[in-house]
Structure 1
Amino acid sequence: MAVGAGRSVASRLFIWLAVATFVFAIVTAGLLVLDSHRSVRAEAERVTQAVAETLAHSPTVRDALALDDRAATSVLQPVAEEVMGDARVDFVTIMDTSGIRITHRDVDEIGQRYIGTIPATIEALTEEFTGTLGPSLRTIVPVESTSGAALGWVSVGVTIDSVAAQLGPRLVVVVAIALALIAAGLAGAVVARRATRGLAGDLPAGTIRDTLASAESMRTLGEALRAQTHEHGNRMHTAVALLELGRTREAIEILTDSARQSQALVDQVAARTEGDPTVGALLLGKASQAIERGIRWETDIDPEAPRSVLTPTDAVALVGNLIDNALDAAATGAEPRWVRVRLAPTAQCELALVVSDSGPGVPVALRESIFERGFSTKPAGPEGRGVGLALAAAIVDDAGGSIRLDDGPPTTFRVVLPTPASTEVT
């Protein structure tokens, strides 16, 4: 069931919970009906077996079968009718060894051959068979003499219609349970909608995601700029101190090395004529952040790498979160520590973003969970662990791209994003 993109988060949550409630109630009702049918059928089989066994071991039945068929009918037909009334079974058929009926619910059928399976050996048999009364569950049991010889057979049955009729009262209970589940589920959905509306108002899901992306963009840009400012401040302070000490050559080396590293990245960013300048600024800041944390930073930006369809806010949130994740992972790994970022076009004119790191990697058992909101291998903190990769996956999914974690090592996240050119081609 598709839910309109313009609906508020609260309304979408209510609809999904309501749909889930109805599906759960229907499935539960179906399972209860199936279980009730099996239970009623099993009970019918037990009744036919018990009644047939009781009659087969009755001295009255055994003695009557020693008489001729007419005399046996006069003795056993009243017994069969009484048992049918008391045990609430649909028929009791007593027959001789050749299958000729001595009793029957319809007296006109007496003397006719039994319709059903007569075992080849002297043993009981329960089956479903269609006879004169229609489909029925029946049990046939041999009547044996004291010496073990067969004297005849007793067949007791319940029609399928009677079995179905016993389901009626149980179906009422099943319907009541299903309605109770639906009522409880809808009540829960209403409570959830009110709680969600209290937090998010009537904002659509896309707006909330955009707000979160904006917040993440500001956070990651702020961290990058802070690191860049801090790194340059450290170098400048060191250079000034060296100049004061008269060590001009070392001061010049520090400043030129810093300028050289920054210029190399600036050149790559500037060479990408179609690139997003916001992402370029982010990469410059993240490079300083990596240096500050003692992590080697590598970038490979293809000059032909196209601009994706993402807004600057979403692009910064996506790239920034992937790089932050890589920096955190590399910082906990063994030497050498490094992070590598690559931007390049694909054969389909899309944009490929690849972020790799030297970290310890993601355990195989957790690979299916890394893009779920709230999941993190790190402890929760004020920055909100478990948001970054989930937000990155949501941004990529909304744009119609793909994101996956390659089999490592090294740990590599690979993103493919559509571009205006690739959208025109499709």
Structure 2
Amino acid sequence: MLLQIATVVVVVAVSAVVFLLVGVQQLRDEAENAAVNIARTIAADPEVRTSVAAYSADPGTPDAVALRSGSLQSYAQDITARTGTLFVVITDDHGIRLAHPDPGLLGQQVSTDYREVLGGREVVTWERGTLGVSARAKVPIYPPGAAPTGPAIGEVSVGFEPASVFDDLPTLLLAVTGVAALGVAVGVGAALLLRRTWERMTLGLQPEDLVRLLQTQSAVLDGVGDGVVAVDPNGIVRVCNRTAAELLGLTGAADGPLGRPLDALGLPPLVVDAVRNGTARDGVVVAGNVLYVDSRPATQGGRAIGDVLIVRDRTALVALTERLESVRTMTGALRVQRHEFANRLHVASGLLGADRTEEARAFLAEQLARGPVDFPVEHLDLLTDAVLQAVVGAKAIEAGERGVSLSVAPDSLLWQRVADPEDVAAVLGNLMDNAITAAAAGQEPRTVVVGCYGDGTALVLTVADSGAGIAPDDPFGADPGRADSDRIHGWGIGLRLSRELARRRGGDLWIIDRGGVGGGGDDDPAPPAHPHSADGGLGGAVFGARLEGVLDDDDLHRESS
């Protein structure tokens, strides 16, 4: 503000000085022009020209006494009285004063140079004479009837004293001072208004505070692991750090999210609603990431200045949870096997303890022929991998507890060993969980069929259920931000993470058949990866998944040989 006021004062002062100089010069020019015009009028008067011609023709010096009472003296005094000039002086061709305000100087030569004027030139200047400094004009007098060319016979000198020239200077000075004061007052008022406006816009922060705030903001936003998005009261994004842009999939925008409305960034409705309502949402799926978003209002001095959205990545945590769930499933399968095996040992021990040796021998022979503990899964022997058998068997036990029978598709074909059991168990377990939930909510018979196929090192999975199918207006993948679109099939974290795991493996997860009323069409542009179908006319939804590079390549080479 001080700099602005100083600038205004300097500009106004310089302008005032320049205007005063221009005004003084204008007054000088007006006085000089007036002197020239009066001198020209006198020099052109016929009587003046005749009288001066007569004195110039006389070789002697005019008599001073006669000049005091002469016509030229009387004429000059009359002109001086009427025009307010300092003096009117008339001379002959020798510079002798024929008319002068001081009668005592008549008949004497003028004190200033007159030869240039006698040469036929008009001279306008400020000079010091016997009457002091004056603005004077000297005009040549030509003979009567002669053209204003050639040698002159005398001169007329008219002068104005400085006091009369600058009579209007006080008024001009007062006007300039008043205007300058008004300009300074307007400049100071504008500076104060601008200062108040700037403080209101910056919330009272000074420029050095803004610099420190920017440095601190950059350090904090780039140093934290969470994503931060700041939105002003109009819904415009003002701050978005690199982490938030990556998690929300905004790094591909040409101009970035800054300066754009939050609604125009293509974010899921859950994120936009969280900002509008100031709430927290968990399990929001954006750009393949499972996010936790929390919106808080931001205030400054008790005034709302927008909202701050905190974004945390929970993808790794949820993926780890899914993998732990698959481990829990396999652990449950082992627990069932251990329990069943312990029961068989108790039977054998009881028979031996009762001296029923033949029956114990027959029982152990039967168990040896049957092999490991059987899971209640039809065609489970088509799955040669122990991991798949354990996962499917454990899910079959859980499904049986809910009144759902789980079986393996009779056309399943898988010879290789699973090389990455975690991802396979996570994807297959999730698909079976959703299918069991859908079948349990449907009508009898409640059935789930799982198909497993080897395609090189890729594993192809199909899971069909006897549930009600998937509504046509609620497609999988239509809204990547919804976490509970279909409570039966579990749109959201589980299936979406399974799809993400499959895509990271170079495959995908899609709907082969919606089932139910209006079902039967593909929802994903990718076709089923294997010609066999796991849907034995169950009427429910059919999901398919393909995971690349999860089967052991060595097993494939040995089988081929």
Q: Which has the higher helix share?
A: 1
TM-score relative to the length of structure 1: 0.49
- Structure with larger RCO (C-alpha < 8 A, sep 6+): 1
